[in-house]
Amino acid sequence: MTRPQIHKYRAYLWPVLLVIVIFVSSGSQDLAAPDLGFQFHTDKIVHILVFGLVATSILRTPKFKDLSLRSILTTALITSVYGACDEFRQSLTPTRSVEFADWLADTFGAFAAVTLYAKWHWYRRILEWHKPIKGRSAPEPSGDLLHK
């Protein structure tokens, strides 16, 4: 494999690892979210953040990186479907239950994250920053791809 091919496939590593971590966590009987003192259930915030991270990592893969409306919606829908599957998996685990609100939080997190990534150039620039290779300057991140 050539170096660009390795880099291309490496982009899929993060979404796969995140999905594996979620899958393993969903099968745990003793999973609990920390109490941060919020009125809003902390587990919903965790769902929003984790599934937002999954959606963002999928959107950053070569298949969806063009940031077209189709890529954005497909990414959010893939993440939402995975959230529904995760809730079903939890129903098979003793002491765990299915919550429609968890799936809504997963879906909201996915749509919010892909919208943030696609529309806010500064956020995308932070995520796409690469450490400069010794002797070379860092590559400039691409501009706002939606407006080209």
CB-CB contact of 106 with 79 (8 Å): yes
Q: Does residue 107 lie in a domain region?
A: yes
DSSP letter (8 states) at residue 144: -
* Residue 46 belongs to domain spanning: 3-26+42-147
Please, are residues 22 and 54 in contact by the beta-carbon 8 Å criterion? yes
User: How confident is the model at residue 118, as a pLDDT?
Assistant: 92
Give the chain's domain count. 1
Q: Which pLDDT band holds residue 117 (cuts at 50, 70, 90)? A: very high
Residue 88 phi, psi (nearest 5): -60, -45
33 in any annotated domain: no
Q: For the chain, what is the radius of gyration of the CA atoms?
A: 17
DSSP states of 21-32: HHHHHHT-TT--
Does residue 58 lie in a domain region? yes
Confidence of residue 53 (pLDDT cuts 50, 70, 90): very high
94 exposure class (CB count in 10 Å sphere: 0-12, 13-18, 19+): exposed
